[in-house]
Amino acid sequence: MADKYLVQPDVEFIKEIRGLGGDSLKKCFQCATCSVACPISPDTKPFPRKEMIAASWGLKDKLISSPDIWLCHNCGDCSTMCPRGAKPADVMSALRMRAIKEYATPKALAEAVNDPKKLPLLAAVPAIVFIVIGMVLQVFGINWLDFTPELDAHGQIAHAQFFSTWLVDLIFVPLSIWAVVIFALGLKRFIGDIHKNALAEGKTNKDKIEIKGFLNAIVKVVPNILKHRKFSECGENNDRATPHMMVLFAFIALAFVTGFFFFVLYGLGIHGPYSQFHPVKILANIAGIALVIGGALLFKQRLDKKDEMSTYKDWYLLWLVLGLGVTGMLSELTRLAGAAYLTYFIYFIHLMLVFHLIAFLPFSKLAHLVYRTVAMAYNEYSEREVKKA
């Protein structure tokens, strides 16, 4: 790096990171205990010391586009070992959130998702969307929204009688596409940026990104992610790996279940509710239970860990996960119990939460699902951790 690097500290950026849970970033006195303590940091250009220095100098450009902030799994070993009371893990976490905001568009929505004051507004959005679209459709004689639903043809309570599946999918299908598009736009910039950063800091031996090699890297990395290989190397937060895995697999299973029944409904024209003994239904129930238990455990661990900074971004996601699981399971249970209006109400909340999950996915902490996967794949691709002979 022969070129001189013009340092332009961004004071606003520092304040932002502090607000996102990285309040301790200025406490660092550069001893590098954190990088040594970190069980998963690579040997070349290890984190999080360099991130701490850059953060305390407000070097947004160096941080937002760094793949390293995503390689961190928030083990917290660094924070525990820091002799100065700084919390590199929290700073890294704050930086990730800031990066999510950076790569998501529109910015205003990203701001809103991470602003507790905007939560009532955001909570109201799906309710309004559902009700308004439902009412508007009623004007045209389409009764996809029925506040006095009857039992279905089989004499069972069916949520579809309340919110028609058509209405739900009319909203969620475009919403999913929107999430994908936003991610695609963000990722394009993200991959370009992390590569530039890696080149500048000598973290890769690849000049440019070849699609094929990169896809190969993804294929290599995904099993490791599923197995939580890095996460389980963690010291302090090791106990979080299992609940996290439960939640991840629950989401994957539920995504599969959703896809499967989507096909059953639209492809085969078979309406739910489906038999409790159907294998996919069993999977769905297991996943639902896993989601509740995993979410609750993560929730508890955050509450117990007093020395770790938990901010709105963390609680928002945890409430969402736990809420999805609980409302999902309860709407099923109340349906089976025959409590018609209770189950419709819970189902309504459940739908609202699903809306949050999909619509705000690229803007919330949950986006780490995508960014971390990509960053880990990039790290694999960059051959940074390949030992030189």
Partner 1 sequence: MSKKYGVYICTGCGIGDALDIEAICDVVEEESLPCKTHEFLCSQAGVDMIKADVEEGTNALVIGACSRRVNYNTFKFEGCMVERVNLREQIVWSHPRSEFPKLTEEEKQDEDNFDRVQMMAEDYIRMGMARVEKVKLPEPYLLETMSKKILVIGGGVTGMNAAIDAAAAGYEVTIVEKSGKLGGHVANWRRQLPTKPPYERLIPNKAKSLIAAIEANSKISVRTNTVVARIAGQPGEFTVTLKTPGEKIEFDVPYPLPEEMRVDESGKELDHEALIAKYKEYNEGRRDILTLDPNGELFGAVILAAGWRPYEPKADEFQNLGWGNADVITNYQFEELAARGKVNRPSDGKPAKNVVFVQSPGNGTDSDFPFTGSVTSMVALKQAKYVRDDYPDGRAYIFYQHMRTPGLSEYFYKAMQQDSGIFMTKGEVTGVSQNGGGLTVDAANTLLGDQIQVNADLVVLGTGMVPVTFDDPTVNLAYRQGPGFRDNAIFDKYADSNFICFPYETQRTGIYAAGAVRRGLNVEESMEDATGAALKAIQCLESVNRGVAVHPRSGDMTFPDFFFQRCTQCKRCTDECPFGAIDDDEKGTPKPNPARCRRCGTCMGACPERIINFADYSIDSIGSQVKAIKVPSEDDYSEPPLRILGLVCENDAYPALDIIGWQQKKSFSADVRLIPVRCLGSVNVIWIKDALSQGMDGVFLLGCKHGDDYQCHFVKGSELAGIRMQKIGDALSSLALEEERVAQFEVAIDEYDKIPDIINKFVAEVEELGPNPFKGF
Decide: is 94 part of the binding site for partner 1 (CB under 8 A).
no
Choice between 98 and 356, CB closer to partner 1: 98
Return the residue of 37, 59, 71, 145 that touches partner 1, per CB under 8 A: 59
Decide: is 82 part of the binding site for partner 1 (CB under 8 A).
no
Decide: is 36 part of the binding site for partner 1 (CB under 8 A).
no
Q: What's the CA gap between 265 and 168, in Å, rounded?
A: 13
Distances from the Cα of 380 to the Cαs of 19, 64, 160, 388, in angstroms? 32, 19, 45, 15
Choice between 64 and 157, CB closer to partner 1: 64
Decide: is 45 part of the binding site for partner 1 (CB under 8 A).
no
Decide: is 15 part of the binding site for partner 1 (CB under 8 A).
yes
Decide: is 197 part of the binding site for partner 1 (CB under 8 A).
no
Residues with Cβ within 8 Å of 226's Cβ and at least 6 positions away in sequence, in order, are: 248, 249
> For the chain, how big is the Rg over CA atoms in Å?
23
Decide: is 202 part of the binding site for partner 1 (CB under 8 A).
no
Q: What's the CA gap between 122 and 283, in Å, rounded?
A: 31
Decide: is 54 part of the binding site for partner 1 (CB under 8 A).
yes
One-letter amino acid for residue 122 of the chain: L
CB of 356 to partner 1, least distance (A): 33
Decide: is 378 part of the binding site for partner 1 (CB under 8 A).
no
Distances from the Cα of 131 to the Cαs of 143, 175, 229, 346, 351, in angstroms? 12, 16, 44, 15, 12
Decide: is 30 part of the binding site for partner 1 (CB under 8 A).
yes
SS3 384: coil
Which pair of tokens denotes residue 357?
Answer: 């999950």
Q: What's the CA gap between 33 and 90, in Å, rounded?
A: 15
Decide: is 8 part of the binding site for partner 1 (CB under 8 A).
yes
Return the residue of 22, 48, 58, 76 that touches partner 1, per CB under 8 A: 58
Decide: is 196 part of the binding site for partner 1 (CB under 8 A).
no
Binding site for partner 1 (CB under 8 A): 1-9, 11, 14-15, 18, 26-27, 29-30, 53-54, 56-59
